[in-house]
Amino acid sequence: MIASVGLIGDPVKHSVSPAFQTAAFRHHGLTDTYMLWPTSTQELTTRVAGLRADGMRGANVTLPYKTAVVPLLDELDGIATAVSAVNTIVRRADGSLYGLNTDVLGFIQALRAAGGEPREADCVLLGAGGSARAVAYGLVMAGARSITVVNRTPERAEAMLADVLAATEFDPQLQVLASDAPEVAQAVAGAQLLINATSVGLDGRSSPLEAERIAPHLLVVDLIYRNTPFLQAARQRGARTQNGLEMLVQQGALAFEAWTGLTAPIAVMRAAAQQALEEQT
Ligand code: NAP
C-alpha cells in the first residue's frame, strides 16, 4: 500500500478522515492509504516539504495549521487566498504544492443537502473562529441577504467580517452581537438559517443558545460532528437540523477529487464516516 495522502494537524487521532478517504480510494480500485500525521510546530516545514516527493498526492490540514501552511506552498486557489486558510494540499506532477480550501464549498454543499438555500437568506452565525470564517465567506459568496455574527468576543467577529468583506464584491447586511446581547433573540426570530460554528457543545452538555430562541421555521446546523444538546433542543422545538458530519464528508469529497481527478463516491464516504464515528463511541 502507498501512503500517498494524510492529515497534518495536532491532535489528529480522533479523525474519521482515514476511514472515509480510504473507502473512496478502494471504491475506485486504488491502493492508496490515508495516514494520520500528527505534527508539531517544529516539524511542520519538513512535513509539508515531504509532500513534494514522487508518489505523494497531497494532504489535508487541520487545527492548528490551516493558516501556518500558507507560506510553505507554491500557489493557492481563490478561496484559500480569500480566507487565508488551507485545508487541502495537492501535489502537482512537477512536485509543486497547491493549496485549496474545501471547507467553504463543503459547508455550502452540506447546507444545500439539508434543504437550506443561502441565497437571499437571513443567517445567524454563532462563532468567529476558523470554521466560522469559512462559513461566513461561503454565505457571502452564495448571496446571503444578511448575516448576524454572535460571539462571546464581539471584537473577533468584527475583525472576521472585515476580512471576509475585503475578499468579496458582495455586500450583505452584516451585524455583530455579543452572545449575551438582547438583540440576539430578534435576529434569530427573523432568520431562516442558524449555524453553530463555536466549539460549545463538544462536551455533550453545553449549548451556544437558549432553547427557547429556536423556532420551528429554522434550519439549524451545528458544525460539531455529533448530535449536540443544541441540535436536540432544535429538534424538540420542531426545527430541521444537520450536524457537522455532512460538511466533513463534503469537504473531504472535494479534496478527494482534487487529489485524484475522479468523482468522489459521496454515499460510500458518508457511510464510512458514520460507521467510524459510531465505532469511536
Ligand atoms: P476556533 O477557531 O477555536 O473557534 C472557537 C469558537 O468557539 C470561537 O468563536 C469562540 O469564541 C467560541 N467558544 C469557544 N469556547 C467558548 C465558550 N466556552 N463560550 C462561548 N464561546 C466559546 O475553532 P474552530 O476551528 O472554528 O472550530 C469550531 C467548531 O467547529 C469545533 O467544534 C470543530 O469541531 C467544528 N468544525 C467542524 C468542521 C466540519 O467539517 N464539520 C470543520 C471545522 C471545524 P471566542 O472568539 O470568544 O473565543
Residue 2 has pLDDT above 80, yes or no: no
- What is the topology classification, in CATH, of domain 5-101+246-280? Rossmann fold (3.40.50)
What confidence tens digit (pLDDT) does each residue in 181-233 have? 999 999 999 999 999 999 999 999 999 999 999 999 999 999 999 899 999 99
List the residue whose alpha carbon is closest to atom 6 of ligand 1: 198
CA–CA distance from 178 to each of 129, 208, 260, 263 (Å)?
14, 12, 43, 42
Which part of the chain is CATH 3.40.50.720? 104-243
Q: Is 66 a catalytic site residue?
A: yes
Q: What is the model's pLDDT at position 182?
A: 96
What confidence tens digit (pLDDT) does each residue in 130-187 have? 899 999 999 999 999 999 999 999 999 999 999 898 888 888 999 999 999 999 999 9
Q: What is the model's pLDDT at position 239?
A: 97
Q: What percent of the chain has pLDDT over 90?
A: 94
List the residue whose alpha carbon is closest to atom 34 of ligand 1: 224
Q: What is the model's pLDDT at position 165?
A: 87
Q: Among residues 47, 57, 66, 133, which one is catalytic?
A: 66
CA–CA distance from 132 to each of 74, 228, 255 (Å)?
26, 17, 20
Residue 1 has pLDDT above 70, yes or no: no
Q: What percent of the chain has pLDDT over 70?
A: 99
Residue 26: its H or E element = helix 17-27
CATH 3.40.50.720 fits 104-243, yes or no: yes
Pocket of ligand 1 (CB under 6 A): 63, 103, 127-132, 151-153, 156, 197-200, 202, 223-225, 244, 247-248, 251
**Grid cell at residue 34:** 490515508
Degrees, nearest 5: CA angle 44-50-54:
160
Which part of the chain is CATH 3.40.50.10860? 5-101+246-280
DSSP class of 72? G
CA–CA distance from 65 to each of 50, 51, 70, 130 (Å)?
16, 15, 9, 11
